Chains A and B, each alone.
Chain A
Amino acid sequence: MKLSKFDIGAEIISILTKGMYQDPRDALREYIQNAVDANSKNINVKIRQNTIVVDDDGFGMSHDVLRKAIRIGVSDKKPGKDVGFMGIGIYSAYHLCEKLIIFSKAKGNLPCQLKMNFQGMKNDLASQKELRLNDKLSGDELIDLQTLLENHIILSDENTLADNEFPEVGTRVELMGVEPNFYKELNDFDFVAGYLKDAIPLHFDYKQFEWGKEIEEKISKICKEHNAKFELVNVKLQVNNKIEDLYKPYYDTDFHNNKSQTPVYQELKEGKIFIGVVWGCLNSTRNKIKEKKLRGFLIRKQGFAIGRREQVVKYFNSHTHFDRYIGEIIVVNPKLLPNASRDDFEFTNLRTIFYDLLVKAGSIYNQTSNNFQNSTSAIDKINTITKDVKKINAEFTGFEKDADKLVEYLVDLNNFANDVESIIRRNVLSDKVAKDDAMNLKESIKELIDNIKDTINKLITEKKRKKSANSAKTQSKKIEIAKNLSSIDTSAIEEKKYDNLLKLLEDLDFELDSDIAEIFNLLDELFIQRVAKTKLEYYEILSDLKEEINNLGI
């Protein structure tokens, strides 16, 4: 059986375009993609009442090329080399406006013009629908696609346009009679700009993002080494009278402290297969990026966004670290092609390799973020300890008489020393300055401990002199206590701290009924506590008593 042109109904144009370009901004992106494919460096997008213009300085089209652009599902663009290649993009504004007019001029050619009357096509389709509803038209009589296009598309003959009609090389796409509902949406500068900033291959705003220039240069260099195409365009967006140059949407202010860490780059490469480069800047604190929609990594194919950032988190395996980055996955491999809806790549083995590489890259970014988290936690800890040590240092004098206080200092300082030692041993400090700080802190603590020990020794020596009446045994015991104290076995000191006589007896496993316990309490209060001038002396007497009771061998 042989098919004819009547086997492709005209309604197909509506079905295809409606399905592919649901958001009116998709049509803008499509025309910008065409401009990028034509090697444009500067693109102007102008949205005015009922009219949209996309103007570029690309190669432009000769009459023949413009003729070919009308075809549906046929494209001279090379899959992989160019962004668009499906041969439908020129119709992307079908639902958006009444007319599409294209002026184009290629080097050495006269300008040419194409007029597409979308409203005429829509009217024809609507009227035949009406006829069908009223049974006045059979299915076989429906208009075919070719006839519909022939009726409503006018390509100017060669050489009919004078050079001054479109004097410079490039292309100008005019969307005339934009549907009011679409215009209402596109009339909002931020709404359109926000979309385009993500969707198209723009430069960074070097003034607003300190790493912008470096990232562009680094990616260009890597791509050049692999003979891969990486190009960016300047886009000026005008919505009525508001005009701005568009840049990628990254600003230093999106990061806490208004700065990010140095960018980290990962080449996505397996053997000889080079897929692209990832860049990522980690927040300067252990927080999420301020702007929610910018958190994480965005996949771009030749500058055009593929899907959304949230979809990429699965390859990073952790929202915690993913949300602390701003980054992009720049895919340049010509064989990795976007799918029709541009929310992912076409399913191929290369796509599997790409995602495997992405998982590896993701784990490196996770690790980097994790290391940073450990390092900053450690630095925070070091800073807190430094503050506390400084406080002790300021309070402590060599003339301190309060032994309790000295013991407390020693307990705290020993704990600090252990913490600092642990941080140094774990080697989590990424920064040399922080490492040096930790070492210095360790030394400071040690020095302070030595000073406190000396003071305790002096205190004990003095006490010994005053208590000359005590027995030699007791005396030697005290020396032992002093030795113990000076050895800074603080856990032992802690053990000696019986709150009262009963606790001591309890510790020695004496079972006392309530009357006897009351008597011991009285003995404690009336005799022992009155003899001890300080808490330390009280602990010493209780320790001596414990020793004596033990010697009784009961």
Chain B
Amino acid sequence: MPDTFNTESKILIRSQWSKKLIKFINKKLNSKLVYLGLPSPDAEDILEWVDYIDEVIAFQCRDYPNPSDPSQSIDDIQKLQNKLSELERKRIINNFVVYDGYIEEVILNKKDNAGIKFEINNIVHIFNLDFCNSITSPLSVVDENGDVKEVYKFDAIKTLLQLQGLLEANPKRFVLFLTIHKSYEGKELKNFNDTLSYPQYRKLEKKEKRARYLRSYVIETLKNFFQYHDFVPEFLPVIEYEGVNKHQLLHFTVLGASKKEKTGTAPFFQNIPDILKQKFITIENNQFVNKKTNNINEVDVEINPVNIFSSSKAFKLLWATN
């Protein structure tokens, strides 16, 4: 396991993309925020955004990427706990909980490896799902009956949205950051890809094609999850960047706001083909830029997340007013 997933790009996204949005949400909601995510033992995300965070719900596995085992070292968990405890002592955050295990196994087993029951009691404002590995590859976990089962990260996201939807407090508004590895086994998305036709992608080289298929898959899937649980999603342009060991990563940003429709699922104010026509944002010379790709006509996007979001229909209808 690398000592850190930090790269210059990662730091830039954290400080110049996510932080701007979080600050904006904090101001909009006029209160400090509840964070749920995988902050790493050094809690870099938390430290970067701490001015806007009141409470932290964190997940920390022991020996990434190996399956959880009680014999593995607890040092990373302890390190994260100590870090968060220090913030709590300094009265910088108000509260925290650290779950021992992978997010998908804790959420789907409803408890962590130390037996701590997983539950969400307050609206989560920041979901930071920094997976950095393939969204489509399952994790084998032992369930409460002792059976081995395969769980997917998307199952965890679905459950999180469901839990968030069940909370009584209103209005429910949040941002979800999702970072995934661009690689996937072709067969895993085959069924999905077969249902879609993107003739413009045919001309692209394999890596570029794959990134766009993955984007369409993630957006289509998240859109369904959001709407099913009465949240209106607003997708911001996707950032494509290089992580540690030159791994290609995609960073998704989705803003959610609750809107219960008597007649069925929550509305969706965007248009998927329009989103898929957008250029990826990428990082050059420590700056966000629109990515240029040959053989395809894509639309330029704004690179300030707050400007993009605040000009959206979802913002005007669901966030601009209380």
Chain A residues at the B interface, C-beta cutoff of 8 Å: 46, 48-51, 53, 103, 164-168, 172, 174, 184, 187, 238, 240-243
Contact = CB atoms under 8 A, between A and B. Distances in A.
A99 to B, nearest CB: 11
A187 B121 CA distance: 18
B276 interface: no
A53 B116 contact: no
Interface stretch (B84-92, B133-141, B244-252): B84-92
Interface stretch (B94-102, B144-152, B190-198): B94-102
6 contacts: A168-B91, A174-B85, A187-B115, A187-B116, A241-B119, A243-B95
Contacts of B114: 49, 187
CB-based closest 4 A-B pairs: A241-B97, A240-B116, A49-B114, A167-B91
A172 B88 CA distance: 10
Interface string B144-169: 00000000000000000000000000
Nearest to A180: B114
Nearest to A174: B85
Contacts of A172: 89
Given A48-B81, A48-B97, A242-B119, 4 more contacts: A49-B100, A53-B88, A167-B90, A172-B89
A240 B89 CA distance: 17
A166 B89 contact: yes
A241 B121 contact: yes
B90 A164 contact: yes
Contacts of A174: 85, 89
B91 A51 contact: no
Contacts of A51: 81, 85
Interface string B99-111: 0100000000000
B278 interface: no
Given A49-B77, A51-B85, A240 B97 contact: yes
A165 B85 contact: no
Nearest to A168: B91
Q: Which of B78, B95, B97 has the most CB of A within 10 A?
A: B97
Contacts of A48: 81, 97-98
B207 interface: no
Interface residues on B, range: 20 to 34
B89 A165 contact: yes
A184 B116 CA distance: 10
Q: Which of B88, B89, B119, B120 has the most CB of A within 10 A?
A: B89
Interface string B110-126: 00001111111100000
B170 to A, nearest CB: 20
A243 B57 CA distance: 13
Contacts of B90: 164-167
A242 B91 CA distance: 20
Contacts of A242: 117, 119, 121
Interface of B: 57, 74, 77-78, 81, 85, 88-91, 95, 97-98, 100, 114-121
Contact of A238 (B77, B95, B98, B119): B95
A174 B117 CA distance: 22
A241 B57 contact: yes
A244 to B, nearest CB: 10
A240 B117 CA distance: 8
Contacts of B117: 240-242
A46 B81 CA distance: 13
Nearest to B94: A44
A419 to B, nearest CB: 55
A160 to B, nearest CB: 16
B121 A243 contact: yes
Given A187-B116, A240-B117, A241-B116, A103 B89 contact: yes
A49 B89 contact: no
Nearest to A167: B91
A287 B57 CA distance: 47
A50 B114 CA distance: 10
B85 A53 contact: yes
Contacts of B74: 50
A162 to B, nearest CB: 10
A104 to B, nearest CB: 11
A204 B127 CA distance: 37
Contacts of B120: 241
Contacts of B85: 51, 53, 174
Nearest to B119: A241
Nearest to B88: A53
Contacts of A49: 77, 81, 98, 100, 114, 116
A240 B110 CA distance: 13
A80 B97 CA distance: 39
Contacts of B81: 48-51
Contacts of A238: 95
Contacts of A187: 114-116
A240 B112 CA distance: 11
A27 B107 CA distance: 33
A168 B90 CA distance: 9
A168 B115 CA distance: 34
B126 to A, nearest CB: 16
Contacts of B91: 167-168
Contacts of A184: 115
A77 B120 CA distance: 42
Contacts of B121: 241-243
Contacts of A243: 95, 121
Contacts of B119: 241-242
B118 to A, nearest CB: 8
A540 B162 CA distance: 88
A215 B120 CA distance: 36
A90 to B, nearest CB: 18
B68 to A, nearest CB: 14
A238 B116 CA distance: 12
A50 B78 contact: yes
B44 to A, nearest CB: 20
Contacts of A164: 90
Nearest to B116: A240
A174 B78 CA distance: 14
A174 B98 CA distance: 16
B53 to A, nearest CB: 16
Contacts of A53: 85, 88
A48 B97 CA distance: 7
B56 to A, nearest CB: 11
Contacts of B77: 49
